[in-house]
């Protein structure tokens, strides 16, 4: 259970990361807080995976878990490190003031929550234990609380056009309109990439 608490602490540090960004504290502070958050979450996740009290799942759980793990990791990396500007988001002082509203961010305002939930479902299939199930529930709740704070407290102060983004894009649950917007903007980005000189 201690590892679940460590994971919760990782999400609390993630909230501190947003606060550091908003207050425009030195870049080194921002990077340190970001690495601490990722480190706590990674360590706690690995330790929960290693919990010895496993129970049996059907044989197809492992290949399904591997598939979900690969898909969720790809989507996490794509949404959190490719679609949004890496430097201004994670390593430089303050924020870019430019809100990403296309691609998976046209699907929902916080697509990373969906991909992280999928990631932990994959881990339940691969490392089935009561501890992993409890950790998944607790950490997803913490992730939702974190993005609620971002949506209501931090992002309106970081991004001038956040209020209009809130009106046009769902918070967490995609709908038909947002799904279409996601596909349309991804296709448009691909067309632009093909047009740009190499």
Ranges of each domain in the chain: 2-195
Q: Evaluate whether 68 touches 122 at the Cβ level (below 8 Å).
A: yes
How high is the pLDDT of residue 197? 56
Q: What H or E segment, with its residue span, contains residue 5?
A: helix 2-22
How high is the pLDDT of residue 38? 96
The burial class, CB within 10 Å (0-12 / 13-18 / 19+), for 55 is: exposed
Cβ-proximal residues to 130 (8 Å cutoff; 6+ apart), any chain:
53, 55
How high is the pLDDT of residue 55? 83
pLDDT tens track, the chain, 198 positions: 899 999 999 999 999 999 999 998 998 999 999 999 999 999 999 999 998 888 888 888 899 999 999 999 999 999 999 998 888 788 788 777 788 999 999 999 999 999 999 999 999 999 999 999 999 999 999 999 999 999 999 999 989 889 999 999 999 999 999 999 999 998 887 777 667 555
CA dihedral 60, 63, 65, 66 (to 10 degrees): 180
Residue 11 and residue 25: Cα distance in Å, rounded? 19
CATH architecture of the region 2-195:
Up-down Bundle (1.20)
Cβ-proximal residues to 82 (8 Å cutoff; 6+ apart), any chain:
none
How high is the pLDDT of residue 178? 95
**Please, what is the end-to-end C-alpha distance for the chain in angstroms?**
52
């Amino acid at each position: 259970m201690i590892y679940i608490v460590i994971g919760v602490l990782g999400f609390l540090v993630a909230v501190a990361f947003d606060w550091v960004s908003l207050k425009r504290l030195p870049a080194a502070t921002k990077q340190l807080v970001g690495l601490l958050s990722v480190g706590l979450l990674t360590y706690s996740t690995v330790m929960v995976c290693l919990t010895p009290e496993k129970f049996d799942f059907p044989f197809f759980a492992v290949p399904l878990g591997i598939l979900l793990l690969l898909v969720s990791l790809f989507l996490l990396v794509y949404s959190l490190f490719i679609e949004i500007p890496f430097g201004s988001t994670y390593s430089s002082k303050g924020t870019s003031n430019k809100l990403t509203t296309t691609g998976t961010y046209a699907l929902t305002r916080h697509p990373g929550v969906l991909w992280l939930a999928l990631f932990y479902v994959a881990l339940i299939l691969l490392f089935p234990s009561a501890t992993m199930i409890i950790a998944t529930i607790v950490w997803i709740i913490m992730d939702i609380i974190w993005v609620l704070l971002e949506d209501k407290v931090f992002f309106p102060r970081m991004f001038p056009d956040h209020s209009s983004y809130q009106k046009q894009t769902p918070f967490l649950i995609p709908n038909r309109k947002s799904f279409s917007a996601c596909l349309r903007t991804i296709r448009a980005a691909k067309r632009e990439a093909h047009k740009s000189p190499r």
